[in-house]
């Protein structure tokens, strides 16, 4: 075990850092913990020194900048500067890198009424069909400018508020089924926004009634996937029945995020954080490999320089609308009929951030 780890009980470990931060890792003995991941969280912990030094110089105004606590979830593993599975309680500042560029990445489980034997009869043709859809430009999803705007403003609900093209994927669209799903989904599957950030080019595209693009309903890169799963055992019968799960049947797990739109938004805020670093403190900047954005400065909240709070928040919320539509619409992209029951679980292929 890594020298910085100390087991507290069967499911928790304490991570000791020179900064004496409160860092808890939730993992039992069955969870593999590699040294590189632990080293990365120790490197992140050094940010506390930079924040403390900046706070002493009044960078955060009348708000004390600090890191109160770090919690690491069982999917903890090495990321890009911040480990995947990190929950960071930051006070007085935000870390755009903690949000990342795959904003709203998560998973969706679809219960089907297809048995494993029925699926086996499909043979290689099914695999070829999925490859064509996801990797060879086989998605036919015509969208109007109004639909694209609706996606960014209010997710699937905004998509349903406008007429569709009546071709391609829309031949398989089940409005009533989607409405039932949304009722069971937190905030109807979207975070309402006041604008569409800087996405006019993506919204309008060519000067035609309906346009198509290579992002929506795509899997994306990295560790994203669409997986066909066979249900071998159900441990909670009541919950399994409520979700429409049955032994021997198949389920579909889709893991995707906000693809290029999330990258656009995440990169924009990371660049802004770099630009906001105080001039003349280059020695601290070298130690702060992860840049921050302070909440406010004395007499002048910093957000006024790059948008009011609703507008700045809407940039990430626009991305959330895209990823939710992508995961919902994968339901029909396979051109078969899954069962009506679904279960939604948001996870992370990037880093989670809790901002106080």
Domain boundaries defined on the chain: 5-103+263-303, 106-256+313-347
Would you put residue 20 in left (φ > 0), alpha (ψ -120 to 50) or beta?
Answer: left
Residue 116 burial by CB count (10 A; 0-12/13-18/19+): exposed, middle or buried? middle
Q: According to the model, what pLDDT value does residue 183 have?
A: 83
| Residue 293: strand pairing partners | 94
* CATH 3.90.1860.10 applies to domain 106-256+313-347: yes
Two tokens at 273?
């954080």
Give the tens place of pLDDT for each residue, 212-227. 877 777 777 777 888 8
| Strand boundaries in 29-188, DSSP class E | 66-77, 84-91, 93-94, 106-115
What predicted TM-score, i.e. pTM, was given to this entire model? 0.66
pLDDT in tens, the chain (356 residues): 899 999 999 999 999 999 999 999 999 999 989 999 999 999 999 888 888 888 888 877 778 888 999 999 988 888 888 888 899 898 888 888 887 777 777 788 889 999 999 999 988 888 888 888 877 878 888 888 888 888 888 888 888 888 787 888 888 888 888 888 888 887 877 777 777 777 777 787 766 788 887 777 777 777 788 889 999 999 999 999 988 899 999 999 988 877 778 888 888 888 887 777 777 666 555 444 456 666 544 434 333 333 333 333 444 555 555 555 655 554 433 333 233 222 222 233 433 332 22
Can you tell me which residue has the tokens 């099914």? 126
Quick one: which of 314, 70, 106 has its CA closest to 195?
Answer: 314
Two tokens at 166?
């009546």
């Amino acid at each position: 075990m890594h020298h910085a780890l100390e087991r507290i009980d069967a499911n928790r470990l304490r991570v000791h850092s020179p900064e004496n931060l409160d860092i808890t890792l939730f993992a039992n003995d069955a969870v593999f913990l590699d040294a590189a991941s632990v080293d990365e969280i120790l490197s992140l912990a050094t940010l506390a020194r930079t924040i403390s030094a900046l706070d002493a110089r009044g960078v955060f105004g009348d708000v004390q900048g600090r890191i109160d606590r770090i919690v690491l979830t069982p999917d903890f593993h090495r990321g890009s500067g911040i480990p995947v599975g990190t929950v960071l309680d930051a006070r007085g500042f935000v870390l755009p890198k903690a949000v990342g560029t795959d904003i709203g990445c998560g998973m969706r489980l679809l219960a089907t009424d297809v048995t494993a034997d029925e699926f086996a009869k499909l043979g290689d043709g099914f695999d070829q069909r999925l490859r064509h859809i996801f990797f060879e430009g086989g998605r036919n999803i015509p969208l109007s400018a109004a639909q694209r705007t609706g996606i960014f403003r209010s997710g699937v609900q905004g998509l349903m508020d406008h007429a569709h093209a009546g071709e391609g994927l829309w031949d398989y669209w089940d409005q009533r089924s989607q409405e039932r799903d949304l009722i069971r989904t937190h905030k109807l599957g979207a975070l309402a926004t006041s604008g569409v950030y800087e996405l006019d080019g993506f919204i309008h595209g060519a000067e035609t009634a309906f346009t198509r693009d290579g992002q929506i309903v795509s899997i994306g890169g990295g560790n994203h996937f669409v997986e066909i799963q066979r249900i071998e055992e159900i441990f909670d019968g009541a919950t399994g029945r409520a979700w429409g799960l049955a032994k021997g049947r198949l389920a579909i797990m889709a893991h995707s995020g906000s693809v290029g739109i999330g990258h656009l938004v995440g990169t924009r805020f990371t660049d802004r954080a770099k630009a906001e670093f105080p001039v003349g403190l280059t020695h601290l900047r070298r130690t702060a490999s992860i840049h921050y954005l302070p909440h406010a400065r004395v007499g002048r909240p910093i957000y006024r320089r790059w948008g009011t709070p609703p507008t700045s928040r809407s940039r990430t919320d626009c991305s959330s609308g895209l990823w939710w539509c992508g995961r919902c619409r994968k339901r029909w992209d396979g051109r078969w009929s899954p069962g009506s029951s679904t279960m939604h679980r948001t996870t992370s292929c990037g880093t989670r951030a809790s901002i106080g």
